[in-house]
Amino acid sequence: MKRHLFSLLFLTTPLLQARPIITEEAATLGRSTFEATFKGSVREDSFNTPESTYKSAVLPVRARLGLLSKLDLGFTLTHLSQSLETGNTRLTGSRPALFSPELKYSVNNSIGVLAIWHTALQEKPQQELPIARGDDYEIVSLFRIPVRFPSHLNIGYLFRGNYRSRFGIEGGPISKVTPGDIFQAKTSLEIPLRNAFSLLSELAYYNVQTRKIDGVDLNGSAGDALDALVGISWENKGWNIALATSFGLLNESHTSFDLERGAGDVSYHLSFSYRLKARKPNQ
C-alpha cells in the first residue's frame, strides 16, 4: 500500500523539445503534467525628439497544470519596472506582480486556443512613472505549421480595459485612460542542433490602437511593431533553458505599445522551465 502511494506521488520527466520564447505552442502539456517557467527580459529604446532613453524589465513566473489531455489550467505573475532618462532627469516606476489566470484547450497537437484574463491593477502612489491597467482579456489562436522543423503560428487579440491614473503628479487630477486594443501575430521556427541544443527564430507583429485620456485621442499612441528574435535553447531531463535577443524592425515609439509587448530597439531574453509528469503505479 505504501509503495503504491509513493508511486502515485512520484514524478518523472517527459522528453522535451526546444520551445519558443514569445510564441505559444499549439499542444497542451498532457494529463497530470505540471510545468513551471521563469522568464526575464530587458528592453532598451533610444529616442531623438526629445533625446531620451527608455528601459524596462519584465519578470514573469508561469505555472501550468495539464488537467486533461486537451486542457491546461495555469496562471502567470508578472513584475514590471521601467525608467526614462531625459538629459539629467531620470524617472522610474514599477508595479506589483500582475496576476493572469489562463485556460488552454487544444483540439490536437496542431490546433488550440489560449484565453487569458489580465486582472486590473491600480498604480502605486508616489511614483514618477506609475503603471496601472484595467481588466484585460486576451484570446489567442494557436497553430502548428506542418513543416520539417517545429514551427508555430499565433494570432491573437488583447481587449484592454479602462483604468484611472494621476500620471505621476502627486495630488493631481485623476484621469480616465482608455488604452488601445492590440492585434498580434507571432511565428516561430526551431532547428535542432547537436547535444540537445536548438536554434530559435521568431517573428512578432503588433498593431496598437489609439489611446484616449478622458475621451480625447492621444496623438502618436497608435502604431505598429515588427520584431525579430534569434536565440538558442537546451533541453534535458525536463529542463529547458533558452537565451535570445530580439530587435525592433520598425521605427516605433514607446507610447505605441503595451509595456510587455514589442522589442523596442533591442531586448534580451532568458527563460528557464521545468516539466513534471505524474507516473501511474505499476499494476
DSSP codes of every residue in the chain: -HHHHHHHH-EE--------SSSPPSS---TTEEEEEEEEEEEEEEEETTEEEEEEEEEEEEEEEEEETTEEEEEEEEEEEEEEEETTEEEEEEEEEEEEEEEEEESSSSEEEEEEEE--BPPPSS-SS---B--EEEEEEEEE--SSS-EEEEEEEEEPPPEEE-TT-TT---EEEEPPPEEEEEEEEEEE-STTEEEEEEEEEEEEPPPEETTEE-TT--EEEEEEEEEEEEEETTEEEEEEEEEE-S---GGGS-TTS---SEEEEEEEEEEEEE-PPP-
What average pLDDT does range 159-178 have in this prediction?
90
In the CATH hierarchy, which fold is given to the domain comprising 14-278? Answer: Lipocalin (2.40.128)
What average pLDDT does range 8-30 have in this prediction?
70
What residue segments make up the domains of the chain, in order of their start? 14-278
> Look-up: residue for cell 530580439?
246
* Mean pLDDT lowest among 21-25, 59-63, 133-137, 166-170: 166-170
* pLDDT tens by residue, 185-236: 999 999 999 999 999 999 999 999 999 999 999 998 999 999 999 999 999 9
Q: Identify which of 182, 77, 71, 97 has the alpha carbon closest to the alpha carbon of residue 137.
A: 182
Write the CA distances from 264 to 161, 204, 240, integer angstroms: 24, 12, 26
* pLDDT tens by residue, 258-274: 888 989 999 999 999 99
* pLDDT tens by residue, 61-97: 999 999 999 999 999 999 999 999 988 899 999 998 9
* pLDDT tens by residue, 20-54: 999 999 999 999 999 999 999 999 999 887 788 99
